[in-house]
Structure 1
Amino acid sequence: MLRVESISFAYGRQPALREVSLKVQPGEVVSLLGMNGAGKTTLLGVISGMLRPKGGRVTFENRQISGLAPSAVVEAGVVQVPEGRQLFGPLSVRENLELGSYVRLRKRQHKEVARDLERSLALFPVLAQRLEQPAGTLSGGEQQMLAMARGLMARPRLLLLDEPSLGLAPKVAAEILGVVRDLPAQGCSVLLVEQNALGALSVSQRGYIITGGRIRQSGSPQEILADELLREAFLGPRRAFGGVKDKKAEETS
């Protein structure tokens, strides 16, 4: 589905990504984990077309998207939800959501957009109660839900999520990660950058560890957590686990 091959990028003379390769398959949530400054957000910027790589290429569904304009990457089916939400505060919740469908609204596909709005509100029911409220007056958790819902309004087949739980209370963060876990069942794979690394692994099928602009380790969550030194260095001790419980397990507990 998504294939990142030997991507390099530099800010001036300062390398930020060095021969980075990874992949996301259909139906997967894949975590990209590492310390601040490791290159995670830079890589998302390259994939989404906001940054042009110095070397390597990015393909999505067998089509090269590296070098395309961000709008063309969105039309190809890849959408980024940026760190910090970047909502239009004075605009209403409804208007922010509609901006996520600007390409199809421009094509007058109003019925399809209305159906997508219903689906997004079903994922985040609290937004249905806030549709006419200015986005800037929402709580932090509600703003993050709106940012994700706006991204989903573009009908992505791959969602790039940058730090969706940053600054949120644990209960709200778990709710957000629960939605992330369930997105592949709705036809949307996810590449997840998340500061709550253990929580991210709890909703992922695979993970990558990036340090100094290089991929240092990859594997299943179990393989990553089995490496004691890696877990302590990059993910924190086991007692810091902030994962998402399985719904069936919750029902039987």
Structure 2
Amino acid sequence: MLLRLESVNVFYGPVQALHEVSIEVAAGEVVAVLGGNASGKSTTIKTVLQLVKPRDGRVLLDGEDLAGASTPDVIARGVASIPESRRLFAEMTVEENVLMGLYAQRRGLTRAQARARLDEAVAQFPRVRERLRQVAGTLSGGEQQMVAMARALIQRPRIIVIDEPSMGLSPAYVDIVYDLLFDWKRRGTTMLVVEQSANRSLALSDRAYVLQNGAIVMQGPSAGLARDPNIQSAYLGGMQ
């Protein structure tokens, strides 16, 4: 198993955010984590990246416990992140933002190698390629999301963790982003996707977990969960 969370408990001060959460992602698999606001979805991503540390339980990458690892360590081991709200450097150019994905590997690459990786990463994103010299803060939300996706790809990651890929985007850009994610799936990219949009993420993923109040309340093959009326009514409040 490439990524495994085992009985993870996370606290923010006295408040428990995750309760005995166990999630597995195999190589080449797309796994979705669904839930409403304050369900623990983003905390799950932060725990994988070691931005927050579990009080109990373990996070394993290829069987190796990430306890004690810093976030740069996790990234260097092949975990890329596309965070909620993109988290770009608004005053830097698009090119500089994409190249930030190489930060953890920068000492092992020549300038020519970094340029080749940049060209490879933006090949799927014509809008990004056309705007490499443009300041990132002047882009639309959808264009910024593509920059964040290219920044993840440039790492040649083993797994990409994606937090709310549709948040804040116009319907047209949501379609574009999910078309790209489906293409990544066809290419065998391993992904852990955290999302409120149940229908889209269940269509994309192989398996899914449903979080409510920090605990997993449902899990299974995505096709089966998509047919379960409880997914929309009881657990996700009718979110599409």
Shared topology, TM-score over 0.5? yes
1:155 paired residue number? 156
Instruction: Answer yes or no: is the 8 Å Cα contact 1:157–1:187 preserved in 2.
Output: no
Higher RCO, 1 vs 2 (CA within 8 Å, ≥6 residues apart): 2
Give, as a single letter, the amino acid of the residue that structure 2 aligns with 1:34. Answer: G
1:172 paired residue number? 173
Quote the sequence identity (%). Answer: 38
State the TM-score, normalizing by the size of structure 2. 0.94
Q: Which moved more, 1:61-70 or 1:91-100?
A: 61-70
1:39 paired residue number? 40
Distance 1:37 1:222 in 2: 25
Distance 2:8 2:110 in 1: 36
Distance 1:28 1:112 in 2: 29
Distance 1:178 1:44 in 2: 22
1:103 paired residue number? 104
Distance 1:126 1:73 in 2: 29
2:56 paired residue number? 55
Give, as a single letter, the amino acid of the residue that structure 2 aligns with 1:50. Answer: L
1:114 equivalent in alignment to 2:105: no
Distance 1:159 1:66 in 2: 20
How much has 1:151 moved relative to structure 2? Answer: 1.7
State the TM-score, normalizing by the size of structure 1. 0.89
How much has 1:139 moved relative to structure 2? Answer: 0.6
2:183 paired residue number? 182
1:74 paired residue number? 75
Secondary structure of the corresponding residue to residue 131 of structure 2: coil
How much has 1:56 moved relative to structure 2? Answer: 0.5
How much has 1:178 moved relative to structure 2? Answer: 1.7
Distance 1:225 1:188, change over 3 A: closer
Q: In the TM superposition, what whole-angstrom CA distance separates every residue of 1:128-182 from its partner, at most 9, and x where no partner exists? A: 1100000000011000111111122222111110011111111211111121222
2:12 paired residue number? 11
Give, as a single letter, the amino acid of the residue that structure 1 aligns with 2:109. Answer: R
Q: Which moved more, 1:15-24 or 1:104-113?
A: 104-113
Give, as a single letter, the amino acid of the residue that structure 1 aligns with 2:72. Answer: S
Structure 2 residues without counterparts, runs of 5 or longer = none
Ranges of 4+ aligned residues in structure 1 off by more than 4 Å? none
Secondary structure of the corresponding residue to residue 42 of structure 2: helix
Give, as a single letter, the amino acid of the residue that structure 2 aligns with 1:188. Answer: T
How much has 1:111 moved relative to structure 2? Answer: 3.5
- CA-atom RMSD in angstroms: 1.6
2:129 paired residue number? 128
Q: Which moved more, 1:89-98 or 1:151-160?
A: 151-160
Secondary structure of the corresponding residue to residue 123 of structure 2: helix
Distance 1:64 1:111, change over 3 A: farther
How much has 1:229 moved relative to structure 2? Answer: 2.4
Give, as a single letter, the amino acid of the residue that structure 2 aligns with 1:192. Answer: V
Distance 2:12 2:232 in 1: 30
Distance 2:45 2:104 in 1: 21
Q: In the TM superposition, what whole-angstrom CA distance separates every residue of 1:171-219 from its partner, at most 9, and x where no partner exists? A: 2111111212222444531100112121111111111100111111111
How much has 1:109 moved relative to structure 2? Answer: 3.4
Distance 1:174 1:235 in 2: 21
How much has 1:27 moved relative to structure 2? Answer: 1.0
Distance 1:66 1:186, change over 3 A: farther
Distance 2:111 2:216 in 1: 42
How much has 1:65 moved relative to structure 2? Answer: 1.7
Secondary structure of the corresponding residue to residue 95 of structure 2: helix
Instruction: Answer yes or no: is the 8 Å Cα contact 1:121–1:127 preserved in 2.
Output: yes
1:2 paired residue number? 3
Instruction: Answer yes or no: is the 8 Å Cα contact 2:36–2:237 preserved in 1.
Output: no
Give, as a single letter, the amino acid of the residue that structure 1 aligns with 2:37. Answer: N
